[in-house]
Amino acid sequence: MSIGRSVTRLRFAILWLGLLLAANLSFGQGAGDGIPSDEGQVAAGAELFDANCSSCHAVHEQVVGPALKAVYERRDVKWIQNFVKYPKKVIDSGDEYAKALYEQYQQYMPNQAVSDEEILSILAYVKAETIAGPKVAEVATDPAAGDAAVAGAEQAVSTNLLIGIIIGLGVILVIVLVVLLMLINVLTKYLNQQKDLSSDDAAYVNQKFDLSAVFKSQIFVGFASFVFIIVVAKATIDGLFSIGVQQGYAPEQPIAFSHKLHAGYYEIDCKYCHTGVEKSKNANIPSANICMNCHSQVRTESEEIQKIYAAIENNQPIQWVRIHNLPDLAYFNHQQHVKVGGVECETCHGDIKEMEIVQQHSLLTMGWCIDCHRKTDVNTKGNEYYDRLVELHESTAKEPMKVENIGGLECAKCHY
């Protein structure tokens, strides 16, 4: 009987290996985008890219056109081939995605005289570069940026390593599976030839496979719990990372004040109410007195306006609910961005002039700040302080001076 049990165990084991293998194989997939990955194509793509596209595009950075990193995940190959050959036609055809691109870049990419085959090679190159991650040397002008690039490269290495390990495990699993199958065949045959096999054992050896037994088996229950725990852990970690991220937060305010009406329709300047934006850290929320400049006359009978009068009579500020809120550990200064940097309110706050109720447009995470500091050129126009810096910068680099080059990635600039 014990021999019979072992054979059954062996069958279970094989089933599980098979399942693991299936899971493993589906892990390694995802290459169904039809983009070749062989070195010849990639090299040909690199040449074509340099000759035709590199004046406006880079893989990891925005140049004149968007960064092409992972573009094959944003659009399918057919779309890209069509777009690259006839961008204006695609944009003018009303394609939503293309229209949005055009609105962002405000120019038509010229028609490219390349064939579908050549575009496929370029995509092969773009994909290889996307997977490889940004190069260290390209970004390492600032120590902090260098660190980040190294971290990026390390991440790419560890991802490759992980894929290698998974593939290796898969191969080992296949070999073990084949050996076990051979073993079980031999064993079954051998046992069946044994004359002194008890009927009990014989039943075990020749039993049909019973699926319900599998679901009750300890291995199955263990495996299912394991998967469950992993899923819960992932959800928890994702949840933790989004704590404090309040993008889209749009609380109801004590008075139905509308930016769409005041800043949009009546075109009242933001600075008329947010008096601090050009001269201090804080933009300021206007006091009721500023409202009174108009509302001592305008719409005096309105219930909402009566609330302003009540606040003034009771000598109580209006209890506006704060929407944007950085944690205390971070330092952000409006003057620096609006006045010195020349950044528009809308870049960070979205289209406030269209908002009936203000909502948080940006993430306001550290990554968000850093990302913009990497991408944005320093506004040096009419600022003598920067003239020397720019000269210095241009003597060593060909790219325009970005915020990161003047220390925009230094921890102490944003953290007390």
Site for ligand HEC in 283-322 (CB under 6 A): 283-286, 290-291, 293-295, 298-299, 302, 304-305, 308, 320, 322
Residue 135, both tokens = 């190069």
181 in contact with ligand HEC (CB under 6 A): no
**Shortest Å distance, C-beta 396 to ligand HEC:** 18
110 in contact with ligand HEC (CB under 6 A): yes
State which residue, 59 or 205, has the beta carbon closest to ligand HEC: 59
Question: Using CB under 6 A, which of the segments 32-40, 109-117, 163-171, 183-191 binds ligand HEC?
Answer: 109-117
Pick out residues in 111-140 that bind ligand HEC (CB under 6 A).
Answer: 112, 114, 122
Pick out residues in 372-411 that bind ligand HEC (CB under 6 A).
Answer: 372-373, 376, 378-379, 403, 406-411
Q: What is the C-alpha separation between 405 and 376, in angstroms, rounded?
A: 10
Q: What is the C-alpha separation between 169 and 166, in angstroms, rounded?
A: 5
Question: Using CB under 6 A, which of the segments 8-16, 21-29, 63-71, 184-192 binds ligand HEC?
Answer: 63-71
State which residue, 16 or 320, has the beta carbon closest to ligand HEC: 320
87 in contact with ligand HEC (CB under 6 A): yes
282 in contact with ligand HEC (CB under 6 A): yes
101 in contact with ligand HEC (CB under 6 A): yes
**Shortest Å distance, C-beta 31 to ligand HEC:** 19
56 in contact with ligand HEC (CB under 6 A): yes
Rg of the Cα trace of the chain? 32
Find out whether 357 and 250 touch, Cβ atoms under 8 Å: yes
- Give the orientation angle of helix 39-52 with respect to helix 116-132, to 10 degrees: 100
Q: What is the C-alpha separation between 214 and 221, in angstroms, rounded?
A: 9
**Shortest Å distance, C-beta 401 to ligand HEC:** 9
Residue 82, both tokens = 């069509």
Q: What is the C-alpha separation between 79 and 84, in angstroms, rounded?
A: 9
In the list 194, 300, 316, 336, the residue contacting ligand HEC (rule: CB under 6 A) is 336
**Shortest Å distance, C-beta 172 to ligand HEC:** 40
**Can you say whether the dihedral through the CA atoms of 237, 239, 242, 244 is positive or negative?**
negative
The 3-state DSSP class for residue 238 equals helix
State which residue, 6 or 383, has the beta carbon closest to ligand HEC: 383
Q: What is the C-alpha separation between 151 and 159, in angstroms, rounded?
A: 12
Pick from 367, 374, 410, 373: which is nearest to 245 by CA? 367
The 3-state DSSP class for residue 377 equals strand
Residue 274, both tokens = 């947010």
Question: Using CB under 6 A, which of the segments 24-32, 81-89, 209-217, 223-231 binds ligand HEC?
Answer: 81-89
